[in-house]
Amino acid sequence: MRRADGELILLWTLPVVAVIWISAFFLFPGFAHPMSPSMTAAQVAAFYRDPAHLSRIRYSMILFNWFAPGLIPLLMLIVMQVRRMAHRTPILSYCLLACSAGGPAIFLVADVFWLLAAFQPARDTQLTVLFNDLAWMTFTTAVPFLIAQSLFLALAIYLDRPDRLVFRRWIAFFNIAVAAALVPAAFTGLALSGPMAWNGLLPFWVKNIAIAAWIVVMSVVIGQNIYRERSEGSAPQAAEAPVAA
Amino acid sequence: MTGATTEPARAGSPLTRIAWHCRNNPKRELWFAWYTTVIFYNIFFIVFFPVTHAQPPPHPYWSDALVANWFGHNHNGLLIGFGIIFTIAGATAPQNALIAYSMRRMSVSRVFPYTYLVMYSLSAIPGLLLLCVVLSVGALRPGRDPAQLHWLYDFGFLSYTGTMGIFLIGSLVWMLAILLDKNRVMPKWFGYLNLCNALTEVVVAPAWIFHSGVFAWNGLISWWVDMVVFGIYTGAFLIQLRNLIRREDFGDGPLPGLTKKPEATAATLAGTAHD
C-alpha cells in the first residue's frame, strides 16, 4: 500500500499547516479585529505605518504566502476519494481538480496586495488605501471555487452508490451548508458597514469559520477513509476487487 | 442501476421527467456538466452586458473624470453583477471537465486533456476574476481619486482582454487533439474553428498598445470581431459536446468496478474514460 502511505504523509501535513494558518491569522493585526472598510484614509495609513503592526503584517503574510498552497494536497485527497465513487465518468473528479488551484491562487493575489501596502508604508495615503481595498476585496470575494468544490462534492456523494458510499450523506449536506455560508461574501462590496461589510458577520466571521470547519471536517473524514482503505487493502481479497476504476 | 434505466420517462410533468433523469439517466454526470455550462453562459451574458455594462467595453481613451463618472453611474450594477460572478464563477469547471472528457475519448495522449484542464482552470483568474475584483474595488468608493479609478479601469479591462496565452494555447491543444483523433469524437471542421478562436487571441494583443481605433480593447477587430467569433465558437462547442453526450452509450450496465471482472464487459465499456 505504497499509495496510501504517501497519502498519509500528505494527510498529516494538514494539522501542521492548519496550526501555521491559525498562527498567521492571529499574527496579522487586521484579522483579530478585522479592519473596517469605513476606516478613513488616515486610519488605514496609520495602521500600516504603526511599527508594532508592520512586522506582524509582513511576517503573517509571508507565512500565508508560504503555506496557503498547503490546502491543495487536501483537495487532491478529496479528488482521490471521488475517483473511488461509483460514477460512470471522471467528470466530477475533473471538476474538483479544476477548482483546486483557484482558491489558493486568488488568496495569494490578496496576500501580494497586503504585502505591497506594507512594503512602502510611507507612500501616498490614497495608494495605501487602494492596496488595502484590493487586498480585502480579493480576500473576501475569493469564494467562487470554494463554493463550487463544495457543491461538486455534494453532487458526487449524491451520485455515489447508496449501499457502498465513499462519504456518508451528511457530508453532502454539510458541504451544501458551507457553500451557502460563503455566498454573502461575494456581495461584500455593497456595504461599507454592518453585517455585510468585509469585516462584518457574514463576509468575515461566517465565511472564515465555514472554511475552517470545512477543512477540519473534510480532513477528519478523509483521514478515516484513508485508514479504512489501508486496513481493507491489507486483506488479500480486497486487493482483487477495487471499488472503482 | 435497475432495468428501469432503459425506459425513458415520457409520461408525467416536465419536473417529473427531470427528476427521473436525475435519478436514472446513465449520462447524468455529463448532462450536469453540459447544462451547468449553458446556464453559466446565460448568466455571464446577463451580468456582463445589461447589469454591469462591462461589455461592450467602454472607451480606453476616456479621461479620469469620465471614468470616475462611469464607476459612479454603474455602482450598484458592478457590485451586484460581480457578486453574482463571484458566486457562480466555479461553474466554469464543469465546462473544462467536459471538454477534457471529450479529449479522453479521442485517440490521443492524456497529456492533451490534462493540459487543457489545468490551463483553462487557471484562466478564470486573469481572464475573469481579476476584472471583477478590480472593477468592484473601483465601484466600492466612487469618491476615490479619479486617477486611481482610471488605473483600476485600465487594469480591469486590460487583464480581461489581454489575457491571451491561456486561451491561445488552450484552443490549439484542443484543435490538435481533434485533428489527431481517429475516433471522430469531434468533426474536423470544429478543429479548425479552434484555430479561428486561437487567432482572436492574436489580434487582441494590440489592445495593450492602442487607445482608440479598431485594435483598441473596444475596437472593431479587438472586441467586435472577436466577440462574434467567440459567440460562434461557443455555440459550436456546446452543440458538439451535446452531440458527444448523445452518442455516448453507457447502456444500463452495472457501474464500473462493482462486478467481478469476467462479467464486467458493460462496466469496462462504461469505465474506459474513468481514470
Domain with B227, as residue range(s), is 14-270
State residue A130's pLDDT score. Answer: 98
In a domain, A245, yes or no: no
Rg, C-alpha atoms of chain B: 22
For residue A60, pLDDT beyond 80 = yes
Q: How confident is the model at residue B254 (pLDDT cuts 50, 70, 90)?
A: low
* Residue-wise pLDDT tens digits, B200-222: 999 999 999 999 999 999 999 99
* Residue-wise pLDDT tens digits, B89-120: 999 999 999 999 999 999 999 999 999 999 99
In a domain, B4, yes or no: no
Domain with A224, as residue range(s), is 2-235
Cell of B171: 484552443
Contacts of B121 in chain A (CB under 8 A): 97-99, 101-102
Interface of A with B in 98-117 (CB under 8 A): 98-99, 101-102, 105-106, 109
User: Side chain identity at A153, as an amino acid letter?
Assistant: L
B274 and A187 in contact by Cβ < 8 A? no
What is the count of structural domains for chain B?
1
Minimum-distance CB partner of A141 among B28, B86, B121: B86
Report the share of chain A in percent with pLDDT over 90: 87
* Residue-wise pLDDT tens digits, B42-90: 999 999 999 999 999 999 999 999 999 999 999 999 999 999 999 999 9
CB of A6 less than 8 A from some CB of B = no
Residue corresponding to grid cell 451520485? A159
State residue A161's pLDDT score. Answer: 86
For residue A241, pLDDT beyond 60 = no
B90 and A148 in contact by Cβ < 8 A? yes
Specify whether the backbone of B9 is left (phi greater than 0), alpha (psi in -120 to 50) or beta: beta
CA–CA separation, B223 and B227 (whole Å)? 6
Q: What is the DSSP letter of A245?
A: -
Q: Are B95 and B40 in contact (CB under 8 A)?
A: yes
In a domain, A117, yes or no: yes
- Please state the rounded mean pLDDT for residues A201-215: 97
CA–CA separation, B118 and A98 (whole Å)? 7
In a domain, A243, yes or no: no
CA–CA separation, A240 and B265 (whole Å)? 17
Q: Are A79 and A152 in contact (CB under 8 A)?
A: no
Q: How confident is the model at residue B250 (pLDDT cuts 50, 70, 90)?
A: confident
In a domain, B183, yes or no: yes
In a domain, A76, yes or no: yes
Minimum-distance CB partner of A187 among B26, B83, B92: B83
Interface of A with B in 185-244 (CB under 8 A): 185-190, 192, 241-244
Contacts of A106 in chain B (CB under 8 A): 125, 129
In a domain, A59, yes or no: yes
For residue A147, pLDDT beyond 90 = yes
Contacts of A75 in chain B (CB under 8 A): none
In a domain, B5, yes or no: no
- Helix or strand (DSSP H, E) at A234: none
- Which of A65, A27, A20, A31 is closest to A208 using CA atoms? A31
State residue B272's pLDDT score. Answer: 44
Burial (CB count <10 Å: 0-12, 13-18, 19+), residue A44: buried
Report the share of chain B in percent with pLDDT over 90: 79
| DSSP helix/strand/coil, B11 | coil
Among A78, A91, A107, A137, the strongest candidate for a mutation testing the B interface, having the largest count of B CBs within 10 A, is A91
For residue A1, pLDDT beyond 50 = no
For residue A187, pLDDT beyond 70 = yes
Contacts of B144 in chain A (CB under 8 A): 126, 129-130
Global confidence as pTM:
0.91
For residue B262, pLDDT beyond 60 = no
CA–CA separation, A152 and A154 (whole Å)? 5
- Tell me the shortest Cα–Cα distance from A61 to chain B, in angstroms: 20
Query: What are the residues whose beta carbons fall under 8 Å from the beta carbon of B19, sequence distance 6 or more?
Result: none
- Tell me the shortest Cα–Cα distance from B188 to chain A, in angstroms: 24
In a domain, B171, yes or no: yes
Contacts of A143 in chain B (CB under 8 A): 86-87
In a domain, A166, yes or no: yes
What is the count of structural domains for chain A?
1
Q: What is the Cα B89 distance to its own chain's centre?
A: 10
In a domain, B116, yes or no: yes
Minimum-distance CB partner of A89 among B30, B87, B140: B30
Report the share of chain A in percent with pLDDT over 70: 93
In a domain, B162, yes or no: yes
In a domain, A244, yes or no: no
- Tell me the shortest Cα–Cα distance from A74 to chain B, in angstroms: 18
Contacts of B74 in chain A (CB under 8 A): none
Contacts of B125 in chain A (CB under 8 A): 102, 105-106, 109
In a domain, B174, yes or no: yes
- Tell me the shortest Cα–Cα distance from B263 to chain A, in angstroms: 13
For residue A19, pLDDT beyond 70 = yes
Q: What is the ipTM of this complex?
A: 0.93
Contacts of B251 in chain A (CB under 8 A): none
In a domain, B3, yes or no: no
State residue A193's pLDDT score. Answer: 96
- Helix or strand (DSSP H, E) at A108: helix A102-119
B107-116 LR contacts (CB < 8 Å, sep 24+): B107/B180, B107/B181, B107/B182, B107/B183, B108/B176, B108/B177, B108/B180, B108/B181, B110/B275, B112/B173, B112/B174, B112/B176, B112/B177, B113/B177, B115/B170, B115/B173, B116/B170, B116/B173, B116/B174, B116/B177
Among B29, B47, B82, B86, the strongest candidate for a mutation testing the A interface, having the largest count of A CBs within 10 A, is B86
State residue B207's pLDDT score. Answer: 96
* Phi, psi for A160 (deg, rounded to 5): -75, 165
* Residue-wise pLDDT tens digits, A117-138: 999 999 999 999 999 999 999 9
- Give the Cβ contact number of residue A185 at 10 Å: 28
A244 and B257 in contact by Cβ < 8 A? yes
- Tell me the shortest Cα–Cα distance from B185 to chain A, in angstroms: 16
